[in-house]
Amino acid sequence: MSQSILPARGRFITFEGIDGAGKSTHIQFVAELIRARGQELVSSREPGGTPLGEKLREMVLHDAMHLETEALLVFASRREHIARVIEPALARGAWVISDRFTDASFAYQGGGRGLDLAKLDTLANWVHPALWPDLTILFDVPLDVARARLDATRQLDRFEQEKADFFLATRNEYLRRAAQEPQRFRVIDSTQTIEATRAQLAEIIGALP
């Protein structure tokens, strides 16, 4: 009788933080660290990561909508992302890094917009009952630092135009989740220099089995 040997499941790593915290700056660096380990890597983002998800992203970032519509759209994008990108990649042994995942929904829709966290739990349990990141790297900065970085660089989308109390609540919800799940989260002080952050990231990725 022949025995099939399945590839070991890949790892799923997510990056989180308020807008301007610096996560996008560091994702390419982490991707290179992982590829240097000889791993196949899929680098993606949310909302987005699939053709349909990217259309939903445009709506979520630019069109005014009810806060529950916003939550449903980010989870619709996520459902597609998991089915078409994340699960197939993990199943064939590839590692997946995603610029944001469900922690962003808890932080932005829950913390920032004030949507009942129990509704977000329901959506998360429906859309991905058995999938959570193996590691979540949270880039943490005070609001004034994030705001100065954003103002210096770009045209602001619907979230980036929000006021300080929105980002304060978003950041607090991220930190609350990180404190609740210390085994999954690594919190990086993103007020450090880019070089110091890179050194910390190299340590974190290097320590992964």
Ligand X SMILES: Nc1ncnc2c1ncn2[C@@H]1O[C@H](COP(=O)(O)OP(=O)(O)OP(=O)(O)O)[C@@H](O)[C@H]1O
Q: Which residues bind ligand LXEULUCI (CB under 6 A)?
A: 19, 45-47, 61, 74, 99-100, 104-105, 108-109, 159
11 is an interface residue for ligand X by CB under 6 A: no
DSSP state of 7: P
Which partner from the list ligand LXEULUCI, ligand X, none does 104 bind, CB cut-off 5 to 8 Å by kind?
Answer: ligand LXEULUCI
Residue 134 marked as a ligand binder = no
Residue 24 marked as a ligand binder = yes
34 is an interface residue for ligand X by CB under 6 A: no
The DSSP bridge pattern shows strands 185-189 and 12-16 to be unpaired
How far apart are the C-alpha atoms of 200 and 190, rounded to whole Å?
Answer: 11
Q: Are 99 and 27 in contact (CB under 8 A)?
A: yes
Q: Around 105, how many Cα atoms within 13 Å sit in the side-chain half-sphere?
A: 27
Q: Which residue has the tokens 């380990």?
A: 37
Residue 10 marked as a ligand binder = no
Question: Toward ligand LXEULUCI, which CB reaches closer, 36 or 61?
Answer: 61
Which partner from the list ligand LXEULUCI, ligand X, none does 190 bind, CB cut-off 5 to 8 Å by kind?
Answer: ligand X
Give 197's contacts (C-beta < 8 A, 6+ positions apart).
22, 26, 139, 188, 190
Q: What is the DSSP string of 65-76?
A: --HHHHHHHHHH
Residue 77 marked as a ligand binder = no
How far apart are the C-alpha atoms of 121 and 110, rounded to whole Å?
Answer: 10
Minimum Å distance from CB 186 to ligand LXEULUCI?
18
Q: Are 18 and 167 in contact (CB under 8 A)?
A: yes
How far apart are the C-alpha atoms of 99 and 193, rounded to whole Å?
Answer: 20
Which residue type, as a one-letter code, is found at position 151? D
Minimum Å distance from CB 57 to ligand LXEULUCI?
7
Question: Toward ligand X, which CB reaches closer, 90 or 171?
Answer: 171
25 is an interface residue for ligand X by CB under 6 A: yes
Question: Toward ligand LXEULUCI, which CB reaches closer, 41 or 150?
Answer: 150
Residue 93 marked as a ligand binder = no
DSSP state of 9: P
Stretch that binds ligand X, among 34-42, 81-89, 113-121, 189-197 (CB under 6 A): 189-197
Output the known binding site for ATP. Answer: 17-24
Give contact residues for ligand X (rule: CB under 6 A). 17, 19-25, 149, 153, 190, 192-194, 197
